[in-house]
Structure 1
Amino acid sequence: MGMRAVGWAHSFPVAEGVRAARRWTADHLETLPWTREAPDTLHSVLLAVSELVTNAHVHAASTARLVLTWDGDCLHVSVADADPHLPRPRQAAAGATSGRGLGIVDALADTVDVQRCPRGKAVTACFRPPAGPPEADGQAEGGHGEGPPPS
């Protein structure tokens, strides 16, 4: 029996700030089975949430609607805002204090997708935690074991 998807959603108005979104995300990620064994992925997710919520607040002057979905393979982090204009990659000037957010998310996530929505846009980043240790018999799924066949 496979794992069913789990998810959470919350809106963060500009007044609540990015810190609230990070804290909310961290609290929900603690319930997932892989977060203790994959601290790098956990920190990447939290940084991506910071960047995406900041972008919604600063560039769209909008509430950030954050949705987290764990499907057993990938954690989908989606932030929607009210600005219908899709972000464009840009080169931040040396010394600039902004302009790198989407590039950071793209570097951290396994995939990033931007979609128009009926009331704006959504940016979704997928994070796949590293595979766990090999199965108890020493063979990873799909692997070829060495030694004699079982009797």
Structure 2
Amino acid sequence: MAIRQVRTIGDDILRKECKPVKEITPRIAELIEDMFETMYEANGVGLAAPQVGVLKQIVVMDVDDGNQYVLINPEIIEQSGSQTGQEGCLSVPGKAGMVTRPNHVVVRAYDENMEQFELEGEELLARCICHECAHLHGQLYVDLVEGELMDTTAEPEEE
């Protein structure tokens, strides 16, 4: 396993459409492992393959519920409700913004064994699914920010 370089905003690869995965090869299996390691190293909750420079429809997620999720060729098939909250992205370091997303989603995808499944998510998991799936179509959360991006690297003021 290896930590891969996270591509940042301005890198053309982040705006490209990803190709579906046809089969799990040793390279794809290694990519999935590397994506988890890279995500954890960067303290993220989700990571999409284009964020590490690979134009494949692969997402990894772990939103602190103790479950690791691998979504291959994901397709959101149901969404409802709405939630507005602060969102950030490993590819947009030091920034965050308010984004409205569905509060409930169902995604159909394949796992790392190419077995199809459906995952139902609410709140943070729903937000993460939408955010990461958007990466696979060249979309970044900054396109949806309501108002201005906020700087998250500023030092807190002393009292």
- The alignment's TM-score, normalised by the length of structure 2, stands at 0.30
Larger Rg: 1
- The alignment's TM-score, normalised by the length of structure 1, stands at 0.31
Structure number with the higher strand fraction is: 2
